[in-house]
């Protein structure tokens, strides 16, 4: 069997290594148009930020090591520019010499990845405008900064790569602006969860422009559609990526609307003996069932192993992705899994939601850090649809636990009974994950009736809004129109409350409001509790105040 | 409804709080023989070690706060000394006045916990011998040390509480010896995983005596059965705990052999309207199905919420425990879940096992820490039976992910497809959990044939033992009798190998041995690969050298 693999990084190299372990006798050729194979794309922003200090650290394998260990013929600077499915050949251009040749295959694997989207705006071609996909890109940015003693940078696009670059450049001493066309950064999370992230980014001295579309880049600035001009010596363009599949245009391999390669559950393309994987393909989202682009390394690596097995006659299914993702932002961690609320709405998937706020470990043990969690679940059976977490320590742990809850179809009731490892430095006897389960099941069972941030402006005029925090907390700030009845005084104030009016409760995070609601409920009052509490409300207010 | 709750800490207080939220009108009385309710037992070692600095931090609730928030009548220093199930009353002794009274109930909840086992050895009654269960115990230890300027301590028992105390006392500047009757510390893990722990404990300057049974305590030492005498100004006795249920002896409530209260899945005792939970009861182990004692806070808290619901007519099942546990030891973390190998053998449960060794996060991102993992799984279907992890960072995350794999019946194949959150500071594109899944499924599918540490001494005489690490690694130490063929030279050495001899492979952790095996297998050689590799072998050797 002769196998050609196009693309030598996450998907391609994973396929190659596993394939060799499966089949010592296969002829394996890996064709990579770039200078390097098997490199840590995900480490590039940290290389620019000098967190990763050596170029060598970024290289997991080289063509030599691949040959020595796996007897794989790795050809870098070798671009595949067309595929002839009928003859089972590809045309390869040697990027050094410019010469090209034809290479035949029994099986072809396509893992060409995705390339940065280049918007058609004036100034895109200036020398101080960069994108970041591979090692030479990172070198170019590094050299530009050193050579030009760059003082300021505008990052256009507030997604993963944009924010990682913003952090790393800021930490390197540059003035950084982030310019985002959407209403919030991090398209993987919802607006309400982005407030804390945005407030934090600003607190780090990064200028954040939301709802701002770059229209022109000059030698020293970015000009927005609304006329605002932001000074910048350097530009990082990170508004998204698109499948790097132009070479397949005439190949008979079916591509989707966004240029993505269409594959079935076995990672087979529409053409026999051709497999595809990674950032270049669309895959099934396990929540919505739709074919989506989820350009992340973990799916690419896993698909690689599956493709290698299927090349050898195994019938392994890739069961779909869920978009589990995480980002470090200075000390903050932001993570999500499943379909966010805004997507559920778009996809007409019914859901309920709750917000909680928990410490990374037992409150009585030093240095616990609070994290904010949002859970989306099915109103029918409590099946978990998505989770978003913003915090500092322990966010990565909870997102992984909850990612599996999404993946394996668990419900909010299952969260309750999870027996997670507890000792004071690590967690609480009721882990934040258990707590999410309690709160969500209370909502599902009708034990807690909630309202949300977005409802505050439209509460019925005759409603009573009661803040059950302490007098001191209340005086430090509260929602307009709220009256203060501290929880521990509520029982003695019941007589003063009108049973005919609906009561809207709020506290700091939702816990005391819930306890208040339990009392009111059983005494014949009708009430709703603000999920997320004043804390979330306040995050929204701070964000509003910070808008540029 | 009038509910009496015996015991006011993890199980009792959790029941009380949820019960109030369920039923605003119930009369709830919580009877606690000690001075405090709702305190952080698990924080006590850290209070002694001054990691937790204030006594107040240990108190999650007080009788006053419980009354103010939940209208619960909390009576401390109130010991229940008998239960009359026929009359539905309990007898309560006021520990201050010595007077007693009778209190009636509609429903009775028993959460009396467990007390330290006091061995019958000479000197146990000396004033410098302590156990640690509650706040007064912690105060007593603290005061003794200050008052006597204690310089050295012998901790008898190398379980959780013993080791946490050893760390905290050592960090406070005392000379610490740990004396363990068993062949290894931490009864929750297997011998092979304990090697690293023991080596680490010794590296911290703690003297560790294994297979050592204390026979006598003198004013200045502990004397073992084998005559060895270890000096100590103070003794912590932590050889285990036993249900604190003597007051139930004549109650008609069925107790088990170990004095534990017997309950059904609904946490009901053998007597109507009496529930029990926490350290005092036996519960179903979800792997073995057997009734076991799992005295941990997370089960106790969860059972409390279930008991509260069942008191109000819900029919909530407690689905069993799995003994998920974790301990911090200086910078090390040791965690486990499910039934360890030694228990599987005892219970005649068939299993397979693998060892892996993974970095807490991407190798190319700074400060990753290695962790050692042991996975036990069913040879029939790959169902995960148990996991043990010893490492530094990120152990708590992986054990939680894997605890759920155990709980929800997942298999090694499911581990492969888990889509966990990956960015370089948090993980690898193939998380250590995925990696466990790969390795275990290779074993299950017969793709990797393994042998173990315990097999080394009995390898067939005619076998060839090949170490496939580099020449340098080999020269730094190897298994006796091994010959060195570095992996990348193996293909060119094949002709020299005798196909009639079985080959035993070893490398550092098992990965290169596996790749070597894949080559050999397909070239017609029969081979086995050492799971855990030379690293695990070396840990065992270091442990042996450190034995006192
Ligand atoms: C800066 C950055 C940070 C990232 N951070 C994270 C992160 O933290 N977590 C995460 O999960 N993911 C992250 N990713 C995404 C992750 O790297 C990708 O999802 C993953 O690499 C996709 O694997 P792939 O094989 O599909 O594509 P790639 O790894 O991009 O490999 C494709 C290769 O194919 C080559 N190629 C393309 N066309 C041809 C052709 N015609 N002929 C020959 N060769 C060709 C390309 O040169 C490229 O090297 C990051 C990506 C970047 C760029
Ligand atoms: C030092 C220490 C460290 C620990 N660390 C951890 C850890 O890190 N992780 C973990 O999961 N678990 C840990 N535990 C175990 C955990 O604290 C227990 O599993 C949990 O507290 C059990 O709850 P319970 O309600 O059954 O018993 P307890 O919390 O012990 O409460 C029982 C209460 O009942 C009272 N009582 C007993 N008999 C009577 C009676 N007749 N009348 C009135 N009152 C009575 C007792 O005084 C006691 O206060 C630790 C325990 C200790 C002691
Ligand atoms: C590194 C790379 C070449 C893949 O190589 P690989 O050999 O498949 O991967 P690893 O080195 O992680 O080894 C995994 C294999 O070792 C085995 N293994 C791991 N630990 C083992 C142990 N202790 N004992 C036995 N086998 C072990 C696994 O089972 C797996 O083999 P399998 O797939 O045949 O089951 C490829 O992933 C790559 O190029 N990555 C860099 C690019 C990238 O991923 N970028 C995005 C993220 S930055
Ligand atoms: C603290 C203690 C009194 C229990 O009190 P509790 O009120 O049940 O527990 P918590 O304060 O954690 O609150 C949990 C409740 O708040 C709710 N809640 C938490 N966050 C919420 C939020 N953001 N919005 C709404 N409700 C929320 C949960 O749903 C849960 O209520 P439920 O059980 O009715 O569903 C008891 O566990 C205790 O005494 N613990 C100390 C002893 C101990 O556990 N020792 C061993 C470990 S050291």
Ramachandran assignment for B153, one of left (phi > 0), alpha (psi -120 to 50 degrees), beta (any other): beta
pLDDT digits (tens, 9 = 90+) for A143-161: 999 999 999 999 999 999 9
Compute the nearest-CA separation of B135 from chain A (Å): 14
Compute the nearest-CA separation of B245 from chain A (Å): 23
What share of chain A has pLDDT > 90, as a percent? Answer: 99
CA distances from B256 to B77, B242, B248, B260, B269 (A): 27, 12, 12, 5, 11
Q: In the 8-state DSSP scheme, what is residue B381?
A: T
Size of chain B in residues: 548
CB of A249 less than 8 A from some CB of B? no
- Residues of B in Cβ contact (< 8 Å) with A486: none
pLDDT value at residue A398: 98
Q: Which two tokens stand for residue B220?
A: 């200045």
B281 exposed, middle or buried (CB, 10 Å; 0-12, 13-18, 19+)?
A: buried
CB of A417 less than 8 A from some CB of B? yes
Q: Which two tokens stand for residue B158?
A: 């190398």
Place A477 in a pLDDT band, splitting at 50, 70 and 90. very high
Compute the nearest-CA separation of B183 from chain A (Å): 24
- For residues A40 and A38, give the distance between their C-alpha atoms in angstroms, rounded to a whole number: 7
pLDDT value at residue B545: 97
The domain A450-545 belongs to what CATH superfamily?
Rhodanese-like domain (3.40.250.10)
B4 exposed, middle or buried (CB, 10 Å; 0-12, 13-18, 19+)?
A: buried
Q: In the 8-state DSSP scheme, what is residue A122?
A: B
- Residues of B in Cβ contact (< 8 Å) with A408: 408, 410, 414
Strand order in the sheet with B27-31: B73-75, B27-31, B2-6, B107-110, B274-276
Place A279 in a pLDDT band, splitting at 50, 70 and 90. very high
Note if B42 is an active site residue.
Answer: yes
pLDDT value at residue A396: 98
Strand order in the sheet with A281-284: A261-262, A281-284, A291-292
pLDDT value at residue A200: 98
Comparing alpha-carbon positions, the chain B residue that sits nearest to A300 is: B429
Domain boundaries, chain A: 2-113+242-311, 129-239, 331-444, 450-545
R_g (Cα) of chain B, nearest Å: 26
Picking from A497, A223, A272, A404, the residue whose alpha carbon sits closest to that of residue B398 is A404
Chain B residues 166-205 with a CB less than 8 Å from chain A: none
pLDDT value at residue B86: 97
Q: CA angle at residue B51 from B45 to B56, to 5 degrees?
A: 80
Q: Which two tokens stand for residue A193?
A: 């969860």
pLDDT value at residue A164: 98
Dmax over CA atoms of chain B, in Å, equals 89
Q: b/e for A163-172, b at 16 or more Cβ within 10 A? A: bbbbbbbbeb
8 Å CB contact of B421 and A403: yes
- Residues of B in Cβ contact (< 8 Å) with A433: 400
Place A501 in a pLDDT band, splitting at 50, 70 and 90. very high
Q: Report the residue of B405, B415, B417, B525 to disrupt the A interface, i.e. the one with the largest count of A CBs within 10 Å.
A: B417
Q: Which of B354, B511, B521, B527 to mutate to test the pocket of ligand 3 (most atoms within 8 A of CB)?
A: B511
Question: What is A331-444's CATH number?
Answer: 3.50.50.60
8 Å CB contact of B328 and A425: yes
Fold type of domain B2-113+242-311: FAD/NAD(P)-binding domain (3.50.50)
Helices (H), A312-411: 341-346, 395-407
CB of A163 less than 8 A from some CB of B? no
Ligand lying nearest the CA atom of residue A188: 1
pLDDT value at residue A182: 97
> For residue A234, how many other CB atoms are within 10 A of its CB?
22
- Residues of B in Cβ contact (< 8 Å) with A58: 364
Domain at B129-239: CATH architecture: 3-Layer(bba) Sandwich (3.50)
Size of chain A in residues: 548
Same fold, A2-113+242-311 and A450-545: no
pLDDT tens string, chain B, 548 residues long: the values are 999 999 999 999 999 999 999 999 999 999 999 999 999 999 999 999 999 999 999 999 999 999 999 999 999 999 999 999 999 999 999 999 999 999 999 999 999 999 999 999 999 999 999 999 999 999 999 999 999 999 999 999 999 999 999 999 999 999 999 999 999 999 999 999 999 999 999 999 999 999 999 999 999 999 999 999 999 999 999 999 999 999 999 999 999 999 999 999 999 999 999 999 999 999 999 999 999 999 999 999 999 999 999 999 999 999 999 999 999 999 999 999 999 999 999 999 999 999 999 999 999 999 999 999 999 999 999 999 999 999 999 999 999 999 999 999 999 999 999 999 999 999 999 999 999 999 999 999 999 999 999 999 999 999 999 999 999 999 999 999 999 999 999 999 999 999 999 999 999 999 999 999 999 999 999 999 999 999 999 999 999 999 98
Q: Which two tokens stand for residue B428?
A: 């690898």
| Phi, psi at A391, each rounded to 5° | -170, -150
- Residues of A in Cβ contact (< 8 Å) with B403: 418-421
User: Are A508 and A473 in contact, with CB atoms under 8 Å apart?
Assistant: yes
CB of B111 less than 8 A from some CB of A? no
8 Å CB contact of A418 and B430: no
CB of A366 less than 8 A from some CB of B? yes
User: Are B76 and B5 in contact, with CB atoms under 8 Å apart?
Assistant: no
- For residues B68 and B32, give the distance between their C-alpha atoms in angstroms, rounded to a whole number: 18
The pairing of strands A332-338 and A325-329 is: antiparallel
Q: Is the CB of B299 under 6 A from ligand 2?
A: no
Picking from A114, A116, A88, A119, the residue whose alpha carbon sits closest to that of residue A102 is A88
pLDDT digits (tens, 9 = 90+) for A5-63: 999 999 999 999 999 999 999 999 999 999 999 999 999 999 999 999 999 999 999 99
CB of A329 less than 8 A from some CB of B? no
User: Are B372 and B389 in contact, with CB atoms under 8 Å apart?
Assistant: yes
User: Are B37 and B76 in contact, with CB atoms under 8 Å apart?
Assistant: yes
Picking from A235, A161, A152, A201, the residue whose alpha carbon sits closest to that of residue A329 is A201
pLDDT value at residue A349: 97
Half-sphere exposure of A99 (CA within 13 A, CB side): 3
- For residues A358 and A437, give the distance between their C-alpha atoms in angstroms, rounded to a whole number: 13
Nearest neighbour of B404 by CB, restricted to A302, A401, A416: A401
pLDDT value at residue B382: 98
pLDDT value at residue B449: 98
Give the global pTM.
0.98
Q: Report the residue of B17, B113, B333, B419 to disrupt the A interface, i.e. the one with the largest count of A CBs within 10 Å.
A: B419
CA distances from B281 to A422, B16, B90, B422 (A): 19, 18, 19, 41
Ligand lying nearest the CA atom of residue B327: 2
Nearest neighbour of B43 by CB, restricted to A58, A60, A365: A365
CA distances from B211 to A226, B201, B207 (A): 77, 16, 13
The pairing of strands B503-506 and B214-217 is: unpaired
CB of A491 less than 8 A from some CB of B? yes
pLDDT value at residue B101: 98
Cα of B251 vs centre of ligand 1, distance in Å, is 69
Q: Which two tokens stand for residue B216?
A: 């006598």
8 Å CB contact of A407 and B418: yes
Cα of B14 vs centre of ligand 4, distance in Å, is 7
Q: Which two tokens stand for residue A498?
A: 């009108």
């Amino acid at each position: 069997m002769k196998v050609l693999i196009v693309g030598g990084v996450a998907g391609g190299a994973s396929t190659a290594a596993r394939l060799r372990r499966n089949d010592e006798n296969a002829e394996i050729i890996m064709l990579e148009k770039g200078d390097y194979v098997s490199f840590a794309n995900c480490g590039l922003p940290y290389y620019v930020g000098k967190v990763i200090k050596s170029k060598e650290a970024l290289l997991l394998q080289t063509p030599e090591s691949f040959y020595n260990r796996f007897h794989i013929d790795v050809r870098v600077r070798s671009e595949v520019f067309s595929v002839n499915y009928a003859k089972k050949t590809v045309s390869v251009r040697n990027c050094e010499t410019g010469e090209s040749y034809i290479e035949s295959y029994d099986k072809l694997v396509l893992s060409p990845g995705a390339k940065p989207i280049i918007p058609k705006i004036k100034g895109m071609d200036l020398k101080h405008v960069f994108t970041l996909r591979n090692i030479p890109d990172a070198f170019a940015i590094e050299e530009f900064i050193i050579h030009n003693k760059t003082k300021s940078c505008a990052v256009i696009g507030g997604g993963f790569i944009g924010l990682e670059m913003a952090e790393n450049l800021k930490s390197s001493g540059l003035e950084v602006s982030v310019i985002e066309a959407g209403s919030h950064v991090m398209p993987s999370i919802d607006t309400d969860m982005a407030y804390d992230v945005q407030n934090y980014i600003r607190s780090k001295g990064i200028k954040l422009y939301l709802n701002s579309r770059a229209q022109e880049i000059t030698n020293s600035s970015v000009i927005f559609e609304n006329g605002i001009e932001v000074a910048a010596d350097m530009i990082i363009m990170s508004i998204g990526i698109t499948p790097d599949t132009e070479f397949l245009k005439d190949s008979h391999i079916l591509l989707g609307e966004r240029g993505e390669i269409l594959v079935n559950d076995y990672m087979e393309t529409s053409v026999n003996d051709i497999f595809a994987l990674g950032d270049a393909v669309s895959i099934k989202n396990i929540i919505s069932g739709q074919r989506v682009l989820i350009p992340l390394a973990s799916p690419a690596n896993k698909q690689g192993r599956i493709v290698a097995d299927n090349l050898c006659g195994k019938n392994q299914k890739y069961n779909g992705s869920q978009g589990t993702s995480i980002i470090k932002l200075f000390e903050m961690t932001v993570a999500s899994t499943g379909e966010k609320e805004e997507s559920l709405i778009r996809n007409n998937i019914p859901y309920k939601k709750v917000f909680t706020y928990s410490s990374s470990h037992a409150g009585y043990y030093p240095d616990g850090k609070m994290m904010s969690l949002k859970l989306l679940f099915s109103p029918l059976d409590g099946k978990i649809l998505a989770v978003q977490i913003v915090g500092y320590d322990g966010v990565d742990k909870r997102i992984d636990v909850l990612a599996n809850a999404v993946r394996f179809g668990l419900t909010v009731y299952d969260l309750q009974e999870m027996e997670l490892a507890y000792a004071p430095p690590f967690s609480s006897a009721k882990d934040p994950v258990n707590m999410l389960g309690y709160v969500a099941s209370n909502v599902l069972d009708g034990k807690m009736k909630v309202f949300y941030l977005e409802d505050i402006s439209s509460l019925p005029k005759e409603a009573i809004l009661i803040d059950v925090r302490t007098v001191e907390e209340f005086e430090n700030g509260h929602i307009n129109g709220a009256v203060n009845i501290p929880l521990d005084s509520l029982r003695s104030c019941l007589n003063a409350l009108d049973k005919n009016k609906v009561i809207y409760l709020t506290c700091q995070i939702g816990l005391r409001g819930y306890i208040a609601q339990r009392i009111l409920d059983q005494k014949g009052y009708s009430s709703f509790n603000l999920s997320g509490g004043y804390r979330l409300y306040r995050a929204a207010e701070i964000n509003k105040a910070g808008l540029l």
